[in-house]
Amino acid sequence: MKATRLYSLLLLAAVCLSGYAQKTVTAQSPDGQTSVSVTLSDRIYYDIVSHGETLMEKCVVGMQLSDRELGQKPVLKKKRITSVQGTETPLLPLKFSQVENNYTLLSLDMKGGYGVEFRLYDDGVAFRLRTSLPGEIEVMRENTLFRLAEDCELVLQQPGGFKTSCEEKYTFLRSSEWKADDKMAELPVLIMGRNQKVLLSEFDLCSYPGLFLKGNADNSLSAIQPRCPLEYEDDGDRRQRILKEADYIARTSGTRTFPWRYMLITQDDGRLAENRMPVRLAQKCQIEDTSWIRPGQTCWDWLNGIPYGPDVNFKSGINLDTYKYFVDFASRNGVPYIIMDEGWALDTRDPYRTNPQVNLPELISYAKSKNVGIFVWLPWLTVEHNMELFQKFEEWGIVGTKIDFMDRQDQWMIDFYDRVAKEAAKHHIMVDFHGAFHPSGLDYRYPNVLTYEGVRGMEYNGSCAPKNSIWFPFVRNAVGPMDYTPGAMLCYQPEAHHGNRPICAGVGTKAYNMAVFVLFESNLQMLMDNPCRYDQWPDCRDFLTSVPVNWDDTRVLAAQAGQYIVMAKRRGEKWFIGAITNEQPRELDVVLDFLPEGANPEMTSFADGINADRIAMDYRMEKAPVNRNTRLHISMVRNGGFAAVIGK
């Protein structure tokens, strides 16, 4: 009797403890080359192995709520491993008009109303938490931890705090040396592994703060996020002072999915610049009729807004004659928009009192007659205090807004982005988010959001050097559209640069500055220079204004992250090529085997001149027939480039 009772007690104990016993679930990508092993013990851990190499080990997924911890002593209720195949057709294709979306879905439901799901692609892994809890929940912090299997160099943007415009230069740290008291990093982060590289970012960010990372001096990266502001006041016309913060990072619905955290994994640096993960992870578009959303190029007056020359017989400035000059240039060259920056309104706090020198009603009418649309710049606080302005702008005939200086990623500010996108869409207004963080999915739900800044662009003049910008195709621009403001006609080598408003200049050679117009992606691509200067170089002008902003196909022909890149892009039957290098000169050969069999189209190219290493303005334009067997030799001086178009 006693023995039977003892056996029953031991059996009962074993059953009770089985919920906490270690369990491991493994899933593989469709090609079998990447696997994720999820271990459930005291926490939820996972390892990532790709092409026989362990990249991440004992990473942690978890979240601390105000009343419980998700991921602590997890008990598995249900496991599903599913093969998914599909194709996505993005409305605004930055790289590809169609993207395959084939993955293995590993879904784990846990006791306690939460779960975690992983998507395993041939070129990456994404995961997210989801909850099914009643009412609202308060998220105190995330317990997310990325643990690298070995010491790696990291390519980072490191702000001094959560208040940041995300325009810092890249810094380079070893994962074993990034200490907890060092500056944190914003996303995306590039992990430079020994054999493979990992681009780490997030997506589908909605009513939740953006993710930052801190190092722990042991090859692990911990999540850190801004707390939700509770009390705040205006600090001038474009900033807000936070007076009181909550002890939580988010108050949100208890039933929801949380942002994807994804890792693009590649053995080829060029694949970083071809990143397809955002398209695959995007939610469906929330706008029923998108016919009014028209991406394209735009002229812009902020950096070079004073026309001059024999065709300018008016006093240049923020006035009607100057803006008509911009409109005329745009109309002649098939550029669909102009952006009017600060000064079009009498007071930056009041979007309804326009500058009488501009005569906005007449300008809008004039631009419309020339088939040119007008965007206007606004500080975000003015939008926040006048959310009804989108209705007024629609009545006036304005097509878009450039909204600036948000400089935060807390939940309140993420909700502001969302409210703006929705309200603007109601009134057929397109949006450029300047002073912003990296794109994280809103532009797919509301594609009237055309672009984001979040980059050290040409507004920085001399400090926007190629040795930093060369990273953009591999890091920042890899995760979404980027308002870099390219298109400089005056160009200097970095040590000689001296251009500032109202005569700003590009850094790098003339061919470099033409190439980035092909390489750098944005649904609203700026022509940052003055119309009068474009007209001084009509060959360059005609090339730049012919470059599309959306593409059917993208091919990286040669690349080394942080060193150089050669990229070919197709729209219809026409191919464009852009190539840039850092401070090192390059001699590269690429084959044009993407061209159709039997075709011999003409290539118009712009290359560095023989003296471009000293005089950045030196370039050579050539025309020559090419075919799919052509071996194209690209010679770039330091901070140089190459740009070309193939076909009529």
State whether residue 415 is helix, strand or coil.
helix
Residue 2: pLDDT band with limits 50, 70, 90: very low
- pLDDT tens digits for range 296-338: 999 999 999 999 999 999 999 999 999 999 999 999 999 999 9
Token pair listed for 457: 């662009």
467-499 residue pLDDT tens? 999 999 999 999 999 999 999 999 999 999 987
Q: Helix 360-369 vs helix 389-396: angle between axes, to the nearest 10 degrees? A: 60
Return the percentage of the chain with pLDDT > 90, whole number. Answer: 95
* pLDDT tens per residue, range 202-261: 999 999 999 999 999 999 999 999 999 999 999 999 999 999 999 999 999 999 999 999
Residues 41, 22 contacting (CB under 8 angstroms): yes
For residue 648, name the pLDDT band (cuts at 50, 70, 90): confident
Instruction: Give the 3-state secondary structure of 283-331.
Output: CCCCCCCCCCCCCEEEEECCCCCCCCCCCCCCCCCCCHHHHHHHHHHHH
Rounded Cα distance between 611 and 510, Å, is: 12
Enumerate the active-site residues: 404, 459
Q: For 65-90, what is each residue's pLDDT tens digit?
A: 999 999 999 999 999 999 999 999 99
b/e burial code for range 259-287 (CB count within 10 A of at least 16 → b): bbbbbbbbeebbbbbbbbbbbbbbeebeb
| pLDDT higher than 90, residue 1 | no
- How far CA 598 is from CA of 300, 331, 557, 595, 603, in Å, comes to 42, 37, 21, 9, 15
User: How does residue 21 score in pLDDT terms, banded at 50, 70 and 90?
Assistant: low
Rg (CA), the chain: 26
Tell me: pLDDT of 363 over 60: yes
Mean pLDDT score across all residues of the chain: 95
pLDDT over threshold 60, residue 112: yes
Which contiguous run of DSSP H or E holds residue 25? strand 23-28
Residue 419 is given by DSSP the state H
Under 8 Å between Cβ of 213 and 224: yes
Domains, the chain, ranges and CATH? 21-281 (2.70.98.10), 296-550 (3.20.20.70), 575-646 (2.60.40.1180)
Task: Give the residue from 11, 33, 1, 21 showing the smallest Cα distance to 122.
Answer: 33
CB 336 within 8 A of CB 372: yes
pLDDT given for residue 13 in this prediction: 37
Whether the predicted pLDDT of 508 surpasses 70: yes
Can you name the residues that pair with 130 across neighbouring β-strands?
A: 115, 257
Residue 499's pLDDT is 79
In sign, the C-alpha dihedral spanning 34, 43, 145, 253 is: positive
Q: Is the pLDDT of residue 8 over 50?
A: no
Cα dist from 22 to 42, 64, 255, whole Å: 8, 21, 27
- The tokens for 562 are 């942080």
State percent of the chain over pLDDT 70: 97
pLDDT at 19: 43
pLDDT tens for 246-287 read 999 999 999 999 999 999 999 999 999 999 999 999 999 999
Mention every residue, 6+ apart, whose C-beta is less than 8 A from residue 495. none
Instruction: Please give the Cα distance from 639 to 579 (Å, whole number).
Output: 11
Number of helices and strands in the chain (H, E): 13, 42
Residue ranges of alpha helices (H) inside 520-567 are 531-534, 538-544
Mean pLDDT of 110-136: 98
Q: Give the C-alpha separation, 316 to 530, whole Å.
A: 12
Which two three-digit tokens encode residue 91? 């409305």
For the stretch 417-456, pLDDT in tens is 999 999 999 999 999 999 999 999 999 999 999 999 999 9
Check: CB of residue 103 under 8 Å from CB of residue 30: yes
Closest C-alpha to 582, from 562, 612, 607 = 562
Q: How many CA atoms lie within 13 A of 524 on its CB side?
A: 29
- Whether the pLDDT of residue 4 is over 60: the answer is no
> How far apart (Å, rounded) are the C-alpha atoms in residues 7 and 10?
5
**Strand, coil or helix: what is 22?**
coil
Q: Which residues pair with 503 in a beta bridge?
A: 500
Taking the C-alpha atoms of residue 93 and residue 429, their distance in angstroms, rounded to an integer, is 20
